A and B are shown apart, each in its own frame.
Chain A
Amino acid sequence: MKRFLCALMFAFGAFAAGAAELTVFAAASLSDALGEIAPLYARTTGHALRFNFGASGLLARQIQEGAPADVFFSADEPRMDRLEKAGLLLSGTRRTLLANTLVVVVATDGNVSIGLLQDLAGAGVRRIAIGEPATVPVGTYARQYLQKMNLWQPLLDKLVPLDNVRATLAVVESGNADAGFVYRTDALISKKVRIAVEVPLADGPKITYPGAVIKSTQQPAAARALVEYLASPAAQAVFAKYGFLPPR
């Protein structure tokens, strides 16, 4: 009983001392890395993090509609630009935190052989999973790259657009699509897929992840501190473990 009271008092003390709960809207591709960072962050600052993971385009739209986000962590710059233009970001808080690369994955136990991007046009590949290009950054990147390689039109009939990058990964894992475009970091967390084609960093679209504080936050100081923390060596080390690259 005494211990319980102590714990209660401690919790209350932490609350009174300004322990915040921050709501972070973050790209689906960040879910594992941020899931590991959250307890680290809570230990060092006492602030709890609550996440809303999804396609960055969808999250940006939710924020535009007034969703209560403190921090937005997007998988591409255009979605962030949109919020910045709409005056929804706390000025001076936006910074590029990470970079990533694009890969084509196939199921580990599948019998589809793809060595080159051009193999996707072959008859053995009937369905290719891709993030919905209009809302999912990894889909937008994939479209850019396919257009650059003159493969967008030839492959159009095989494409299955999905809600976010993890949905795309899942469809390849289950074998319901023969191949899929995901980030390298997503490919690395799954044992059920293997990387068939790596889009070279110099050749592919520039994939960067910006973070920023949302203007309407009730806790601007804590939110600012979080964006700083995400750029810190401690957080970057966790991101690196999952295969993310430092920006530039």
Chain B
Amino acid sequence: MSDLFHVTLFTLGVALLGTALILPGGVALGWVLARRSWAGKAAIETLVALPLVIPPVATGLILLKLFGRHGLLGRFFEQTLGVEIVFTWKAVVLATAVMSFPLLVRTARVAFEEINPRFEEAARTLGAGPWDVFWTVTLPLGARGLLAGCVLAFARALGEFGATVMIAGMIPGKTITLALGIYHEVQLGRDAEALKLLVISVGLAFAAVWLSERLLRRRTT
């Protein structure tokens, strides 16, 4: 029971941290994609969407090569900052963050696109600076959509498996999340334990998707 509780809490914590980590970057990128156009925009759009469509284990492999001890970023983190990533809880956060990033950016972009630019222009003509406009006009108007994006990213993070297993492994009590736990328990032949984890993950995912749907629905009506 305490194990179940621990895994659930760990998964929620990781998903929350992962979402918080990508929030500033995701919102900024969503805004830029919604409001600006430049030469290489299509390439950036495609690049950001990639983790949605390439196999999660492929993303995991890329992360492992980058953040492994001999990887470009892994070496930097370990030798300069003294932070080890692979096979620790940090790797779980990293994998979930990368996998949910596209969902957040896409939802944020739609949220910003649905705001009539005239509101922002009006604020500018009344003397507000660009940051003022963003904080007092754009952000409040897009808040519902952004929140929905966060909830979606959070839900995606809860269920992340492929990339996580590559870079974080399955270490009981250290890197096992609900999704990894289901696989792990089945491997061990403990189907009853796996079913408990399954019920929890379905419950959490249901709540998250339901919330994001409600947030998105209300805004359009």
> Which A positions have Cβ atoms within 8 angstroms of B?
57-58, 61, 126-127, 132, 134-135, 159-163, 174-177
Q: Produce 1/0 per residue, B159-172, CB < 8 A to A.
A: 00000000001111
- CA distance in complex: A57, B184 (Å): 12
Taking a contact as CB atoms closer than 8 A, the residue among A61, A126, A132, A177 that contacts B170 in the complex is A132
Residue of B68, B169, B170 most packed against chain A (CB within 10 A): B169
Q: Does chain A have a CB within 8 A of B189?
A: yes
Taking a contact as CB atoms closer than 8 A, the residue among B64, B68, B86, B172 that contacts A161 in the complex is B172
User: In the assembled complex, which residues on chain B have CB atoms less than 8 Å from the CB atom of A132?
Assistant: 170, 187
- CA distance in complex: A162, B165 (Å): 10
> Which B positions have Cβ atoms within 8 angstroms of A?
64, 68-70, 84, 86-87, 169-172, 187-189
User: In the assembled complex, which residues on chain A have CB atoms less than 8 Å from the CB atom of B68?
Assistant: 174-176
With CB as the reference atom, state the residue of chain B lying closest to A127. B87
- CA distance in complex: A221, B169 (Å): 41
Given A127-B87, A161-B170: A134 in contact with B187 (beta carbons within 8 A)? yes
Taking a contact as CB atoms closer than 8 A, the residue among A127, A162, A174 that contacts B70 in the complex is A174
Interface majority SS on A: helix, strand, loop or mixed? Answer: loop
With CB as the reference atom, state the residue of chain B lying closest to A61. B189
Interface majority SS on B: helix, strand, loop or mixed? Answer: loop
- CA distance in complex: A176, B60 (Å): 14
Given A134-B188, A135-B187: A176 in contact with B172 (beta carbons within 8 A)? no
User: In the assembled complex, which residues on chain A have CB atoms less than 8 Å from the CB atom of B171?
Assistant: 159-161
- CA distance in complex: A160, B175 (Å): 10
Given A174-B68, A174-B70, A175-B68: A160 in contact with B187 (beta carbons within 8 A)? no
User: In the assembled complex, which residues on chain A have CB atoms less than 8 Å from the CB atom of B170?
Assistant: 132, 161, 163
Residue of B64, B84, B187 most packed against chain A (CB within 10 A): B187
- CA distance in complex: A140, B70 (Å): 29
With CB as the reference atom, state the residue of chain A lying closest to B172. A161
User: In the assembled complex, which residues on chain A have CB atoms less than 8 Å from the CB atom of B189?
Assistant: 61
- Closest CB of chain A to B153's CB: distance in Å? 27
- A176 touching B86, Cβ below 8 Å: yes
User: In the assembled complex, which residues on chain B have CB atoms less than 8 Å from the CB atom of A176?
Assistant: 64, 68-70, 86-87
- CA distance in complex: A163, B70 (Å): 22
